[in-house]
Amino acid sequence: MMNKLGIAWLAAGGIVVLTGVTALAHGGATGIVGERMMGMMMLSEQVKLLAPLFADGEPVDPVLLAEAATMIEMHAGRAMTDLFPEGSLEAPSEAKPEIWDRWQEFTSYADRLGMLGAELAAVARPAEAKLADIAAPVPAPPEPERSEWERLDFASLMGLAPAPAIQTVSIDSLITGSLGDAVPRAAPASRTQQQVFADVTATCSSCHAAFRR
**pLDDT (tens digit, 9 = 90+) per residue, 94-129?**
899 999 999 999 999 999 999 999 999 999 986 555
The rounded distance, in Å, linking the Cα atoms of 92 and 212 is 12
Q: Which residues lie below 8 Å from residue 163, measured CB to CB, with a gap of 6+?
A: none
**Domain coordinates of the chain in residue numbers?**
4-131+192-211
CA distances to 2, 69, 81, 107, 120 from 114, in Å: 22, 9, 11, 11, 10
In this predicted structure, the answer to whether residue 190 has a pLDDT above a threshold of 70 is yes
152 or 39, greater pLDDT: 39
174 falls in which pLDDT band (50, 70, 90)? very low
The rounded distance, in Å, linking the Cα atoms of 172 and 178 is 8
Q: Which residues lie below 8 Å from residue 185, measured CB to CB, with a gap of 6+?
A: none
In this predicted structure, the answer to whether residue 132 has a pLDDT above a threshold of 70 is no
184 falls in which pLDDT band (50, 70, 90)? very low
Burial letters 93-102, b for 16+ CB under 10 A, else e: bbbbeebbee
Count of other CB atoms within 10 angstroms of residue 139? 6
In this predicted structure, the answer to whether residue 13 has a pLDDT above a threshold of 70 is no
For the domain bounded by 4-131+192-211, which CATH number is listed? 1.20.120.10
What SS3 state is found at 148?
Answer: coil
What SS3 state is found at 158?
Answer: coil
